[in-house]
Every structure is written in C-alpha cells, then in structure tokens.
Amino acid sequence: MKEIFKLWQIFLIMLFVLNCGGQDNTEMELIDVPVSVQSVETGLIEEYVSSTGTIKPIAEAEILTEASGFFSFASTSNFRIQEGIRVKTNQMIAKLENRELVNNARVELKLKTMETAEREYEKQKSLYEKGGVTLKEVQLADQHRVDAKYNYEASLIMMDKLNVKTPISGILVRLEKITEGDYVTAGRVIGKIMDYDNVYVEVNVSNTDIARIKIGHKAKVINYAISEEIFIGELTEISRTIDAESRTHKVTIFINNPKRRLIPGMFVKVDIVIESKENAVLVPRHVVLNRNNRDVVFVVEKQRAIMKEVELGLEDKENIEIISGLEEGERIVLRGYETLKDKTRVTVGK
C-alpha cells in the first residue's frame, strides 16, 4: 500500500509540473512582439562607384602686360573693372602709356608709306600693261608695297601691346592691387580669369571598379556646403594607365554649371552611376537579414511575422532591390525584426 501511495504522489507531482509548463507555454504564445511595418514600394534605384575630387574650371588664364609703361584702368562711367565681373575675350581692361614705344612705332608715318607704295605699285602695273616699264620694275614696286604693308601692321601690333586685354572669356576672379599711374614692366600679372560656366572634376577609381564604368556614364556631384543640390555630370575620359602607388585610374567628369554654383576649388563627392532600374521593388537595406546563409525579410500577415527568402539585386546607400520573393504592397517589418522567427505573433505599432 505504501509503495502504491508513493507512486500515486509521484504521478500527481508530474501532472502538476506538466500543467504548470503548459500554462507557461500558453502564456508565452500570447506575448506578441511589437513591430513597425512599411508597405513595400517600387521606384528608381541606382548603383554607384563613388569617389571624391576638386572642382576645376574648364578654362583659366592670367592677364599679363605685353609691354612696359604707366598703368591706368580702362573703366568708364558705365563700367568699372573689379573682381567678379564677366569679361569677354580680347576685352580691354587697362592701358599703358609709353612714349618711347609710340615713337618707335611711328604708325602714321608707316601708314603714309604703305599708301604711297600702294599707289606706286598701281602706277607701275598700269605702265607695264601699256609697255612703258619692264616686268622687273613692276615686281620691285610690288615688293615695296608688301614691305610697307608689313611694316605698318607691325607698328599696329606694337601699339596694341599698350592695351591690356583679356585672353579668354569668363569671370575676373582676381585683380592685382595696382595704383593708377604705377609703372609696370612687360609680363606683369594684372589679374586672373576663370571660365566655370562648365567645370570638371578628376577622381580616382580603384582598379577593381574601373571595368564597371564607361565613357558617357552619368555622375551625381555633391558639395557638402550645398548638399541639398545635386549636380549631374558626364564621364568624359578614363585614363588607361594606373597610378603605381594608389593602384587607381584617373577619371574625368564634365559638369554644366550655368549658375556657377560649383566654384573651382570646391571639394565634392562623385557618384558614378554604373547601373539603374526603374519600377524596382525596394526595401531598406537594414531589413534584409541573413539566416542560415539565406537572405530573408519578415512580412506581417494576420498578426504573424512570416519569414520570406528573397533574391537581391541593385543596392544604394539606403535601399536594396528585391528581384524575387516579395511583392509591392506587402507589409514588411521595419523595426523589431531582430528576434523574430517564422510565424511569431506580432503587434503592429506606429
């Protein structure tokens, strides 16, 4: 009887333990994991090769004096030479006074000599047609006419050196401090012009990425000081030589800059678009998990987290393309997915 009683007690204790365990499991199943969700959407995704570089003007040149003399700006009542103005090619911005050069040029005298030589040539040519002079005399008159013309043009070139002109069109970005009346020598730098209506940037691309880019590829250019604006450029040149130290290739990006928002010297980030796709199924990168060497995401269906295996495609900094395994409109778990298992009960919050 005592043995039967002990066995009965053991049976009751086991039954109690089992009942308690069953209640705990039931309670565990009733605890829902809080999650937030987002509807799966489609959109444009672009994959980049990224690098950095410095903006350079499409053209730049210094304004130099070609002669010596006393300096004066060519400003008028309607136009004042100052930094920041737009100038055109061969626009005169200053004059030099040099009496010695003017005397040596003797422009008026050489003009009269040229005119006299021209008349003499016409006279000799007319006489030759009538038999009054020989061909040699006509040829000699023609040589005098040509020499006089060259001498006159040379004197004009010499005088023009007293005019300080702009070598290119663009913005006068620097103007040297020269006082009116100062004597300057030939070769003196007066200022600097930059044409940056169009600009370019040279960036280094790794040897592993160079095969992925091609001339004509679009590039997004961003300056951190004006990060709200993205400038679109085009890849125009790829160096086929490799830098021995950095193991990179130099790539040139051309950018239209009509409002001159990109200023030469700016440090920029360049994203070269190597591939893009429209209407792609997109999810945030962080929601894609790797479980047992499989790429998976969790979606919510009837208050359950359903684990779905997916095939990945293009990716950028924020999103990743889902090629298969997920459809537009499904509710993907955005937060709270870390501890989820397949078919875990969830509560969807905001």
Q: Could you count the other beta carbons within 10 Å of the beta carbon of residue 327?
A: 12
Q: At what angle do helices 107-130 and 135-160 cross, to 10 degrees?
A: 160
Choose among 341, 337, 282: nearest CA to 310. Answer: 282
d(CA 313, CA 44) in angstroms, rounded, equals: 12
CA–CA distance from 332 to each of 243, 278, 298, 307 (Å)?
46, 21, 6, 10
Q: Tell me if 31-44+279-349 shares its fold with 48-57+195-276.
A: no
Angle at alpha carbon of residue 66, lines to 60 and 69, rounded to 5°:
125
pLDDT value for 246: 85
| HEC assignment per residue over 128-142 | HHHCCCCHHHHHHHH
- CATH number of the structural domain 48-57+195-276: 2.40.30.170
d(CA 265, CA 81) in angstroms, rounded, equals: 24
Tokens 């006419």 sit on residue: 145
pLDDT value for 77: 59
Angle at alpha carbon of residue 273, lines to 241 and 230, rounded to 5°:
115
pLDDT value for 71: 95
Tokens 């928002």 sit on residue: 261
Query: Per residue of the chain (350 residues), what is the pLDDT tens digit?
Result: 445 444 334 443 444 444 444 444 434 445 788 989 999 999 999 999 999 999 999 999 999 999 999 999 987 656 788 899 999 999 999 999 999 999 999 999 999 999 999 999 999 999 999 888 899 999 999 999 999 999 999 999 999 999 999 999 999 999 999 999 999 999 999 999 999 999 999 999 998 899 899 999 999 999 988 878 999 999 999 998 888 888 899 999 999 999 999 999 999 999 999 999 999 999 999 999 999 999 999 999 999 999 999 999 998 889 999 999 999 999 999 998 888 999 999 888 86
Q: What's the pTM?
A: 0.71
d(CA 224, CA 132) in angstroms, rounded, equals: 83
pLDDT value for 76: 65
Give the domain ranges of the chain: 31-44+279-349, 48-57+195-276, 64-191
pLDDT value for 350: 67
Give 3-state DSSP helix, strand, coil % of the chain, rounded to 5. Answer: 25, 45, 30
Q: Which CATH architecture best describes the domain 31-44+279-349? A: Beta Barrel (2.40)
